[in-house]
Homo-oligomer: A and B are copies of this chain.
Amino acid sequence: MALDPTKMADWQIAEEAEKTMKTVYQLRDELGLQEEEVLPHGHYVAKLDYRKILNRLKDRPDGKYIDVTAITPTPLGEGKSTSSMGLVEGLGKRKKNVTAAIRQPSGGPTMNIKGSAAGGGLAQCIPLTPFSLGLTGDINAIMNAHNLAMVALCARMQHEFNYDDEEWAKRGMPRLNIDPRNVELGWIIDFCAQSLRNIIIGLGGKMDGFMMRSSFGIAVSSEIMAILAVSNDLKDMRERMGKMVVAYNKKGQPVTTADLEVDGAMTAWMVEALNPNLLQSIEGQPVLVHAGPFANIAIGQSSIIADRVALKLSDYHVTESGFGADIGFEKFWNLKCRFSGLKPNCAVVVATIRALKCHGGAPVPRPGLPMPKEYEGENVGWVEAGTKNLVHHIETVKKAGINPVVCINSFYTDTKDEIAAVRRLSEAAGARVAVSQHWLKGGDGALEFADAVVDACEEPNEFKLLYDLSMPLRQRIELIAKEVYGADGVSYTPEAEAKAKKMEADPDLAKLGTCMVKTHLSLSHDPNIKGVPKGWTLPIRDILTYKGAGFVVPVAGAISLMPGTGSNPAFRRVDVDVETGKVKGVF
């Protein structure tokens, strides 16, 4: 059956493509992997034993390393995963050995509004259902490891409160004297459960926990997801797992997972999750899926381990960082690459004409509603105005010292003149530009794109970090705000400022990285301001400590770590064919 995205839904294309997809055993042989290095989960998904592979191939040179980022997206997304899949398919058509690494989607958006995060059209990751619904259980492992820390914390608080000194002494454990008003960690769940944002727990009698305020965040915002993304190996993960700050004691000193003696058990739940998952594009290129999304409220990167493995297995490895270059790429650049020591060769900035029009003045499209009429006809003026946002992100990539490639993720309504305007302004800003029709044509539509990336990788580049870890925290935040977001400066709530000062003075915290939390829908903290906002100040309202992940988390604006489920959620349309077991409606 011919696959025609103008006539078929994404899931129908995936379903057709899955009829002839490669088994993991074929992928294994094509990648030159050995039997014990590939742990099948069914016949079409596998986990890769990263340790065995990296050990065997440690002397093999790495392939070229390409990050895919984007302009500031509309709420509909600009097809970054689609473009990542399109790029590997295009490179595949050019007979390159290629791999990709993308992130496992969260159940929250999948069940709420977003549907699949596997790409679209003829540029998708398959098999689609396991990809969309939990895959091999990495996010569940994070949920278990994280919530076990909360179980340990709350039980400890209960028992220390219930037992007098004499009785407590029998247990041979010190008192941690946790301050219930100063508990940093909450629980997690992988859905958009706004009802659990603010809760009171521990009601009941003396054996029913400890009464205090608490909260649930979405699983992918967990510090453990960040640890999964940035760990270089199990030893690294084990060390990080013990450093997580869960609360402060009555003296204001941090209490960690190691103090609770739960860090070993937490790691035990995570051992398998450290192995990246192997899937494929619908044209059969290997795709590693590992770590999670939400670069606005989390690190939002595919994992270092997935990239390390893939760089040994291919000549071109395409990895993905979430949302726009201000968010995902900045964290790729200054956190992920810092932790891994890997140097990217090029970064792709994905843009759609639709989003550029939005940045140039067209009404903002809303998920679930039809596109505003204004998007129907040609409007070169809006496109030109909106390309300023694209140019801003091109400049961000150039600040990292690597070569930018603009991918115009093409749509049938785009006009020649609109595309010409983007090309002219982007090339003037120093970027290669490719128009790509991977959505419509798969790899055959992505040849120009693939060639531009190959060319960019051949050129010299001088990757450099934006800041040194010796730079004081507030100075660093200001640098990111000015250089990457285009702000005039930074303001702090009194609470956040006090935290920042304390962190700058604490030798344990001063040299951690900086992982910003900020909306992805604007270069600023205000999701409603499009284009390139000018004359504004970034307001920091809180700073979290993710010591295990290796960074502090300044939180800008009103963003929440737990999204909400809307009034017409996607789960209404999900069902199962009881005869075949096929899941329907996740798209």
A residues near B (Cβ < 8 Å) are 35-36, 39-43, 47, 51, 107, 111, 129-130, 133-134, 136-137, 140-141, 143-144, 147-148, 150-152, 154-155, 158-159, 163, 171, 173, 187, 189-204, 207-210, 214, 233-235, 238, 261-262, 264-265, 267-269, 271-272, 564-569, 571-572, 574-576, 578-579, 581, 583-586
Contact = CB atoms under 8 A, between A and B. Distances in A.
A262 B154 contact: no
B565 A151 contact: yes
Contacts of A42: 39-41, 47
Contact of A195 (B154, B195, B572): B154
B202 A195 contact: yes
A197 B210 CA distance: 11
A147 to B, nearest CB: 6
Given A137-B140, A193-B147, A586-B268, A569 B204 contact: no
Contacts of A572: 261-262, 265
A569 B155 contact: yes
A214 B198 CA distance: 13
B575 A267 contact: yes
Contact of A148 (B41, B233, B568, B571): B571
Contacts of A267: 575-576
B199 A147 contact: no
A209 B47 CA distance: 37
User: How often does this chain occur in the complex, in copies?
Assistant: 2
Contacts of A235: 578-579
A200 B235 CA distance: 39
Contacts of A585: 264-265, 268
A190 B262 contact: no
Contacts of A202: 195, 198-199
A40 B43 CA distance: 7
A136 B271 CA distance: 14
Nearest to A235: B578
Contact of A576 (B40, B207, B268): B268
14 contacts: A40-B41, A40-B42, A40-B43, A41-B42, A107-B148, A134-B140, A143-B143, A147-B189, A155-B566, A195-B209, A199-B201, A238-B576, A238-B578, A264-B576
**A208, A238, A268 — which one has the most chain B CB atoms within 10 A of its CB?**
A268
Contacts of A51: 581
**A111, A171, A261 — which one has the most chain B CB atoms within 10 A of its CB?**
A111
B575 A194 contact: no
A234 B576 contact: yes
B565 A265 contact: no
Given A41-B40, A576-B267, A199 B200 contact: yes
Listed from nearest, the 10 A-B pairs whose CB atoms lie closest are A195-B209, A264-B575, A154-B195, A265-B571, A140-B140, A265-B574, A198-B203, A155-B565, A235-B578, A159-B567
A214 B575 CA distance: 27
Contacts of A214: 195
B171 A567 contact: yes
B111 A565 contact: no
Contacts of A152: 565, 569, 571
A136 B47 CA distance: 13
Contacts of A578: 233-235, 238
A565 B584 CA distance: 40
Nearest to A193: B151
A528 B36 CA distance: 51
Given A195-B209, A234-B576, 9 more contacts: A39-B40, A111-B148, A134-B269, A151-B565, A207-B564, A234-B581, A238-B576, A265-B572, A267-B576
Given A271-B581, A567-B163, A567-B171, A151 B192 contact: yes
**A136, A202, A576 — which one has the most chain B CB atoms within 10 A of its CB?**
A576
A154 B571 contact: no
A191 B130 CA distance: 25
Contacts of A129: 268
Contact of A154 (B193, B210, B584): B193
A200 B202 CA distance: 9
A135 to B, nearest CB: 10
A243 to B, nearest CB: 15
Contacts of A47: 42
Contacts of A191: 144, 147-148, 151
B268 A575 contact: yes
A208 B194 contact: yes
A197 B193 contact: no
Given A152-B569, A200-B203, A268-B583, A195 B158 contact: yes
